[in-house]
Amino acid sequence: MLGSVCSRVAAGVFALAILPAALAAITCDADNLCPESAPCCSQYGECGIGAYCLGGCNPKFSYQVESCAPQPICVDNSYTFDNLDSLESNTKYLGDSSQVGFVYTGYPLESDGNLLATMPNGSVGTVIATSTYVWYGKVDVVMKSSRGQGVVTAFILFSDVQDEIDWEFVGADLGTVQTNYYYQGILDWFNSQNISLSDTFANWHTYSVDWQQDYIQWSVDGQVGRTLYKNATYNATSGEYMFPQTPSRVQLSIWPGGLASNAPGTIAWAGGEINWNSEDIQEVGYDYAMIKSIDVQCYSPPSFVNQSGGKSYRYLNRNGTQESVVITDDDTVLASFEASGTDMNAGESSSSSAASSSSTTSAASSIASSSTTSSSSQSIPNASEVEQSSSAEPSTSSVPSIPGGSGGGNDLERGSSSSQSIPDASEMSESSSSSPSSSSGASTSSSASSVTSPATTATATAGSGFSQGGSTTSTNAGTVVTPGFGLLVVSFITFISGFLFVI
């Protein structure tokens, strides 16, 4: 349960080292709503515009509920990964879910028809989230987890008000997968349960979440491992069902729970300090999880829902329950990284190029094509093939518009990367193949301290960032936080000072 706590503690720590705007980062939580000038509260608890108003934008803590852009409605889909064309960096994505299947931070790669979520030496990993939301449905992911102490893989459903349904893989115990859930980001020490299975790194397994209005079932290879009934989550004091019930994105991530700078509780939960000289880092330059397919089957929304359209979900108020969600025909695309839910056309002309989906896709496709070559001798491309793209950073205005900024979580890394282990541009050029990467990895992590008291969260320090990944939670400066699902933790102290952000 320590694990659950830790994992849950998601807090997002992100450091934007590069953007000056990060210095002025404004944090947000229940007691500190975002100001009008930076109206959107990202999933990592930082105020901004643009990407901050897209996936993960928390209407409870934003300037107005409407500050967050409408959330793309559920679409049945079966994703496979012969290339990475369906992925787009969060520094480019503006909300057009018809063009982009997944939004990422970090270092996704393609190999032999599989999507790899990688964590290069010293990095905070990768987070990949669907552009569309699921509001009750069945999600099946065929995957192999990462391995090694301190290395965590997660597959979760995560809503903008931080309801969460988790599968978590701790690399120190490949014979166990942990299941967990959260309601509106409220930490609970007792919700985690384990399921035993054959080696999660060596074997493909199908992990399923069957999310019904009255229960959730976690299954492995078609066999139910856990059932949570909604009626078992009733809180008589508040009169609420503490049951995940709001539109959620599917997120897959790899992150360093065992980062030395993380809180002791987090490191212990992750199975010990991460070993950057692990077999996988030595062989290919990164730890990785492999995703063969992701299937999303949408269920009907609750019968009471006011459905005035078929394009998007919106929250009507800050309650964050399913009763506060409506289905509309409102558009989900921002004109630029200067736009928000209440001014979706802002910056239209100036940022059109950045916003164009074509530019976006091209990056992704280059990745894919290059990675094809990579697998010559091995089944997975190595780190030199992962390149760091310098491009992608949208211009920022005075208000942070890209969570994770130029590099987002990665910024942390990036900052650190110069001196450390992430392959730099020169290495890229050497390797012929490869890919892309964006910037950042995940971002969340938890610290034991934060774990213990959610209140810490509120105390967070400043920072910036956000990434598409994890859940939410708090942090304390200098520490990394981890979200329930997979985000990372990071704390390179140097960087952090001043840039961390916690939720």
Give the catalytic positions in this structure.
Answer: 164, 168
Total number of residues that touch ligand NAG (CB under 6 A): 36
| H or E element that contains 458 | helix 454-458
Q: Binding pattern to ligand NAG, positions 32-71, x when CB under 6 A?
A: ----------------------------------------
CA nearest neighbour of 311 among 86, 133, 497, 63: 133
The answer to the question of residue 198 lying near ligand NAG (CB under 6 A) is no
Asked if 418 interacts with ligand NAG (CB under 6 A), we say no
Site for ligand NAG in 162-191 (CB under 6 A): 170, 173, 176, 178, 186, 188
Judged by CB under 6 A, does residue 193 bind ligand NAG?
yes
List 11, 17, 281, 368, residue binding ligand NAG (CB under 6 A): 281
Tell me how far, at minimum, the Cβ of 383 lies from ligand NAG, in Å.
Answer: 6
User: Applying CB under 6 A, does 121 fall inside the site for ligand NAG?
Assistant: yes
Copy the structure tokens of residue 40: 């959107």
User: Which tokens is 243 given?
Assistant: 């049951």
Q: Is 205 within 8 Å of 197 (Cβ atoms)?
A: yes
Task: Report the nearest approach of ligand NAG to the CB of residue 440 (Å).
Answer: 18
DSSP 3-state assignment of 52? Answer: helix
Contacts with ligand NAG in 199-228 (CB under 6 A)? none
DSSP secondary structure of 266-319: HHHHTTSS--TT-HHHHHHSEEEEEEEEEEEEEPPPPTT--BS-SSEEEESSTT
Spatial distance between the Cα atoms of 252 and 125, rounded to a whole number of angstroms: 11
Nearest approach in angstroms of CB 3 to ligand NAG is 5
Closest distance of CB 4 from ligand NAG, Å: 7
The smaller minimum CB distance to ligand NAG, of residues 216 and 334, is found at 216
CB of 177 vs ligand NAG, minimal distance in Å: 9
Q: Is 276 in the site for ligand NAG (CB under 6 A)?
A: yes
8 Å CB contact between 191 and 179:
no
Please report which helix (H) or strand (E) contains residue 326, including its range. Answer: strand 325-328
Nearest to 287 by CA among 469, 489, 486, 125: 125
Q: Does 261 contact ligand NAG by CB under 6 A? A: no
Task: Report the residue number, 237 or 349, with the smaller CB distance to ligand NAG.
Answer: 237
426 belongs to the binding site for ligand NAG (CB under 6 A): no
DSSP assignment of 206-219: EEEEEE-SSEEEEE
How far apart CA 12 and CA 450 sit, in angstroms, is: 11
- Of the pair 282, 352, the CB lying nearest ligand NAG is at 282
* Residue 130: CB minimum distance to ligand NAG, A: 25
Nearest residue (CB) to ligand NAG, 61 versus 501: 61
Considering only 365, 420, 452, 459, the residue that binds ligand NAG (CB under 6 A) is 420
The helix or strand, by DSSP H or E, that contains position 220, with its residue range, turns out to be: strand 215-220
* Residue 306 within binding range of ligand NAG, rule CB under 6 A: yes
238 is a site residue for ligand NAG (CB under 6 A) = yes
Q: Which is nearer to ligand NAG, 206 or 319 (CB)?
A: 319
**Min dist. Cβ of residue 358 to ligand NAG (A):** 30
CA dist 182 to 21, 150, 266, 421, 485, Å? 32, 22, 18, 35, 11
Q: How far apart are CA 13 and CA 489, in angstroms?
A: 7
For ligand NAG, the closer of residues 129 and 263 by Cβ is 263
Stretch that binds ligand NAG, among 160-168, 282-290, 474-482, 491-499 (CB under 6 A): 282-290
Per CB under 6 A, 331 contacts ligand NAG: no
The CA-based angle 61-64-70, given to 5 degrees, is 95
Contact partners, residue 28, CB within 8 Å, separation at least 6 = 34, 41, 45, 46, 47, 58, 61, 62
237 lies in the binding site for ligand NAG (CB under 6 A): yes
Q: Strand 11-12 to strand 248-256: parallel, antiparallel, or no bridges (unpaired)?
A: unpaired
Q: Could you say whether residue 427 binds ligand NAG (CB under 6 A)?
A: no
Q: Does 382 bind ligand NAG (CB under 6 A)?
A: yes
Comparison of 26 and 326: residue with beta carbon closer to ligand NAG: 326
Q: Which of 19, 85, 80 is nearest to 435 (CA)?
A: 85
Query: Nearer to ligand NAG by C-beta: 44 or 182?
Result: 182
DSSP state of 186: B
Residue 20 is encoded by which pair of tokens? 């000056």
User: Given the complex with ligand NAG, which of 123 and 340 has the nearer CB atom?
Assistant: 123
194 scored as a contact of ligand NAG (CB under 6 A): yes
In angstroms, what CA-CA distances link 374 with 145, 146, 382, 491? Answer: 21, 20, 8, 31
Burial class (CB in 10 A: 0-12, 13-18, 19+), 434: buried
Residues in contact with ligand NAG by CB under 6 A are 1, 3, 121-122, 170, 173, 176, 178, 186, 188, 192-194, 229, 231, 235, 237-238, 242, 276-277, 281-282, 284-285, 306, 308, 317, 319, 324, 326, 382, 384, 420-421, 431
